[in-house]
Amino acid sequence: MKANTIILEGGLGNRMRVTASAYAMAKRTGIPMRVLWTKQWGMRCRFDELFKADLPPALPVREGAVTFDSCKADACSEHSAPSLTGRAGGGSFIRDARGFEKLLFARPTLKNLHAPHLLQRLCYRHIIYAPQIWYLNRDGFDYEAWFRQGGTLMTAYRDFCPWTSDDLRLLFRPNDDVRRLIDERCRDFTANTIGIHIRRTDHQQAIDESPIEVFFEAIDRELNAPPHLPSLGEGSGVGPTLYLATDDEATKAALRRRYGKRVITSDAEATRESTDGIRDALVEMYALSRTRQIYGSAGSTFSPIAACLGDVPITILQRDGAGSVDLLCQMKSQKEADGEIIPS
């Protein structure tokens, strides 16, 4: 069977959830998959500049699944590291696009005369483009049957199959350089560090629905909570500190004015137009994953993915109350963390 190809679009959070979704589908069904990472606007960085390229041992492979291309056919076992691409001869489940793939799977624009779109139509009979997935999910589309045709192409920034935080952690392991930056960023964290993600710049939903005032209210509640409450981390011996992840310098200044030395944040200017900027964003995501509670912005996938990586409870702050997390992954709510189990 010809491998199905998934092209990642969007920012870090969206790319990670699509990859986890594809891996969950391949692992559950044995359908061959390959996931390609391309550089484009908003993601001027290669996969291997952020993450380790080698997959760790995966869960046991079900009987009748594809032959994995990361090991020889006669050597595959339940301890092999599968690529799930269904081809012999090297490779991995997720990798950077290379050679002709960079042209074939580039985002169609006026600059390239939309040539990738034409080439894709010539190479693939069955194609799903990213904007369609929300509607397909809503209508209960049978992705498994679609992928079983073989040789399909999907571009995606939205997940389409339920996945787990274990899938996410298995696929995405920061490389050694990024890991050192994460450890350095978190060196002043305590058991009582709260994660704050305030998305701004081009994200209009976050700007409109999650103004800075709702974050001030949530932080003030945390700082003023009686010490005996679980939200204050009873027994930690220290008051809350705040880790702020944001793409807006004015937001950093506002929280520093209000909360002073409690605020821990990056000194780097936020940008998605350079490798260093994307790397710093990844460091922020993993730093959030090491906090005890995350408060996030409406419509952004960034902080929910951080919550999944660390199995950290998350609350999406909105003007009209707590918002929902738009992921096909079971998330912890604050009430779950406090012992009252309520599905999120």
The three-state (H, E, C) secondary structure of 145-171, written as one string: HHHCCCCCEEEECCCCCCCCHHHHHHH
The beta-carbon contacts of 268-277 under 8 Å, at least 24 apart in sequence, are: 270/201, 270/246, 272/11, 272/42, 272/43, 272/44, 272/247, 273/44, 274/44, 274/45, 275/44, 275/45, 275/46, 275/49, 277/44
User: How big is the CA angle at 330 (ends 324 and 331), to the nearest 5 degrees?
Assistant: 55
Residue matched to tokens 């096909």:
328
User: How big is the CA angle at 87 (ends 82 and 88), to the nearest 5 degrees?
Assistant: 85
In DSSP terms, 296 is beta-bridged to 316
Q: What's the whole-number mean pLDDT along residues 310-324?
A: 92
Q: What's the whole-number mean pLDDT along residues 145-149?
A: 96
- Burial class of residue 280 in the structure, from the number of CB atoms within 10 Å of its CB (0-12 exposed, 13-18 middle, 19+ buried): buried
Measured between alpha carbons, how far is 82 from 220 in angstroms, rounded to an integer? 47
* Per-residue model confidence as pLDDT tens digits over 276-308: 999 999 999 999 999 999 999 999 999 999 999
The beta-carbon contacts of 18-22 under 8 Å, at least 24 apart in sequence, are: 18/156, 18/157, 18/158, 18/159, 18/160, 19/93, 19/94, 19/171, 19/172, 20/159, 20/163, 20/164, 20/167, 20/168, 20/171, 20/329, 21/159, 21/160, 21/161, 21/162, 21/163, 21/328, 22/161
Is there a contact between 37 and 47 (Cβ–Cβ < 8 Å)? yes
Please tell me which residue, 79 or 153, carries the higher pLDDT value: 153
pLDDT at 324: 86
Q: What's the whole-number mean pLDDT along residues 250-261?
A: 96
In DSSP terms, 155 is beta-bridged to 7
pLDDT at 227: 60
Q: Give the dihedral of Cα atoms 126, 131, 137, 139; nearest 10 deg.
A: -80
Q: What is the DSSP letter of 295?
A: E
pLDDT of 90 > 80? The answer is: no
Please tell me which residue, 202 or 262, carries the higher pLDDT value: 262
Instruction: List the alpha helices (DSSP H) in 88-140.
Output: 101-104, 115-123, 133-138
Q: How far apart are the first and last CA of the chain?
A: 38
pLDDT at 332: 59
pLDDT of 162 > 70? The answer is: yes
pLDDT at 247: 92
Whole-number average pLDDT of the chain? 84
Residue type, 339: G
pLDDT at 237: 52
Measured in degrees and rounded to the nearest 5, phi and psi for residue 158 equal: -130, 140
| Spans of all domains in the chain | 4-168, 176-337
Spell out a b/e string for 10-29, using b for 16 or more CB atoms within 10 Å of the CB, else e. Answer: bbbbbbbbbbbbbbbbbbeb
Q: Give the dihedral of Cα atoms 44, 41, 325, 252; nearest 10 deg.
A: 70
pLDDT at 40: 87
Structure tokens belonging to residue 94: 């997720």
- The arrangement of secondary structure in 176-337, i.e. its CATH architecture, is 3-Layer(aba) Sandwich (3.40)
pLDDT of 205 > 70? The answer is: yes
Measured between alpha carbons, how far is 90 from 69 in angstroms, rounded to an integer? 5
